[in-house]
A and B are shown apart, each in its own frame.
Chain A
Amino acid sequence: MKTFWEVLLGLKSLFTGLSITIREFFKPTITTHYPRQTETIPARFRGHIQLTQNPDGGASLCIACKSCERACPSACIIVEGVKKTDGPGKTVSEFRLDFGTCSLCGLCIEACPVKPVKAIEFTKRYNLASTTNDYADMDLVQRYKDLQAKKS
């Protein structure tokens, strides 16, 4: 008698499972066929950091105060500044990021005192996988200049 019930229950489980599977089978696919399709990257996405483009053009907003360097838990930012030739303050001469050790936490951006637009921001680059290690060492000043040249 017990076996009979078990067979019956087993059959019920089987058919419930099958009916769910068949129903799911006819639903639209949920996967993205990367790289032929890509997802839209949300506005707050944390890619690697970069120097924010100055809305007025010209040099970067960074005043080389090194707040971000101190705030970074992974010690992966190196900032060096030089005295500005036109006026007081400093401007950034070197900004290197070792992306290999960056933990994408955003503490550097929060520490940046430049207002109203912070001098650094996250990019939306996500496909940074590489078979070599040199992609990780990023020269952000160079990147800033390249992006600026591309814009103008």
Chain B
Amino acid sequence: MKALNLIPVGDPADETFTLNLGPQHPATHGVLRVKLVMDGEYITSAQPVIGYIHRMHEKMGENRTWAQYLPNTSRVDYLSAMTYTHAFVGVVERALKIEVPQRAEYIRVITSELNRIASHLVGWGAWVMDLGGFTPILYAFDDREKILDLLEGICGSRLTFCYYRFGGLCNDVDEAFVSGTKAFVPYMRERMKMYKRLVTDNIILRKRLEGIGPVSAEMCRRYGACGPVLRGSGVAYDVRKAEPYSVYKDFDFDIPHYPQGDSMARYLVRMDEIEQSLRIIEQAIAKLPDGPTMGKAPRIVKLPVGDFCYATECARGRLLVRVTSDGKENPYRVRLRTPCFTNLSLFEEASKGMLLADAIAFMGSLDLVIPDIDR
């Protein structure tokens, strides 16, 4: 019987060979495996193999109550936990028509944007480290530490926040958070200037990223890529503008987008997004209304029969939570449409014919979080 050979293993006739990138490779930032068929230094085919960190987050939703699923939401993409929780509480609030107090919505925006900055800083630092620059990740973690300290002060956790509740927040922010965030914005602006001089304008980085991994808007559309990958291809699509959720329509901010479609464009989108997030935080802190932080939510949450969805813009793109309820205490189905999965799927096509070292740079530009792919 002929062995089933779904994955090409290389062919001695044309001197190609198979190379496994991962699942324990530092450049894949987790347990992602990419099966490469190489022709010398050039990639002829790159097939991502996923499932190494599959934790059944979707299935877990079916055997616990709505509220008990909250801790899970911060563990899917652990770097932007706030936006994931936001999507899940959003879908329940939409289904039950729970009114969320203004103050809670403003704090949600502030914490989500702080979380987005922290997430971009990690992505940026780790990416530059993949490219061979070690120092920036230390600076990035220093700044991220400041954000995590602020968030830890209000919710007690540094990574898996679990801060939002159906109808509001688990506790109000204090004066230390408000003044700390106010001080953080100008501090971070200064740091961004330094990052621009140190890394963005650096000739080595530019040479490694410019023209690498071109992704057209058409390719993004075919694979459903989103977030900075899509915006790096010149499409100004952002859920915060396209279908404004929470109180995002109260704020004045731009959607950074670059038409080049290469890794440098995706890099610049992320750097500009940090600035835009700072702008949003500044406005939200200035306008932060007084009042309660918890609306009227039922003690036992039970959704009406039906299908509900809610989309948020997390640091890596559009996250859609779709839940189906059969009126019981547990969800019938929780579906997470996560951005990293779709962003990774274009890797195979876009990396064809690339040098291996460039493929690493390209993979960094997708800013993958592996549990987000497998969930």
Contacts and interface: CB of A to CB of B under 8 A. Distances in A.
Interface in B228-271: none
Interface string B196-210: 011001111000000
A21 B153 contact: no
B179 interface: no
B156 A42 contact: yes
Contacts of B197: 16, 20
A120 B171 CA distance: 16
Interface string A40-51: 001011100000
B41 interface: no
B170 interface: yes
A105 B67 CA distance: 11
B154 interface: yes
Contact of A42 (B70, B72, B153, B204): B153
Interface string A61-86: 00000000001111000000000000
B203 A6 contact: yes
Contact of A20 (B149, B152, B157, B198): B198
A42 B152 contact: yes
Task: Specify the main secondary structure of chain B where it touches its partner.
Answer: helix
A44 B142 CA distance: 22
B71 A105 contact: yes
Nearest to B135: A21
Contact of B155 (A13, A16, A44, A110): A44
Interface in B38-92: 64, 67-72
Contact of A44 (B67, B139, B171): B171
Interface residues of B, number: 30
A20 B156 CA distance: 34
A104 interface: yes
A106 B162 contact: yes
B203 A105 contact: no
A103 B71 contact: yes
A57 interface: no
A9 interface: yes
- Chain A, interface size category, equals 20 to 34
B241 to A, nearest CB: 32
Contacts of B145: 30
Interface string A1-41: 00000100110110011001100100000100000000000
Which of A9, A17, A45, A72 lies at the interface centre, i.e. has the most chain B CB atoms within 10 A of its CB? A17
B153 A44 contact: yes
A104 B81 CA distance: 14
Which of A16, A73, A110 lies at the interface centre, i.e. has the most chain B CB atoms within 10 A of its CB? A73
Contacts of B153: 42, 44
A106 B163 CA distance: 9
Contacts of A13: 201-204
A46 to B, nearest CB: 4
A122 interface: yes
A106 B203 contact: no
Contacts of A45: 152, 156
Contact of A104 (B154, B160, B165, B194): B160
A63 to B, nearest CB: 17
A107 interface: yes
Which of B69, B71, B170 lies at the interface centre, i.e. has the most chain A CB atoms within 10 A of its CB? B71
A16 B69 contact: no
A46 B170 CA distance: 13
Interface of A: 6, 9-10, 12-13, 16-17, 20-21, 24, 30, 42, 44-46, 71-74, 103-107, 110, 122
Sorted nearest first, the 9 A-B pairs with minimum C-beta distance are: A73-B68, A46-B156, A105-B71, A44-B156, A103-B71, A13-B202, A13-B203, A105-B162, A9-B203
Given A24-B139, A46-B155, A73-B70, 10 more contacts: A10-B203, A10-B204, A13-B203, A17-B202, A45-B152, A45-B156, A71-B67, A73-B64, A73-B71, A106-B162
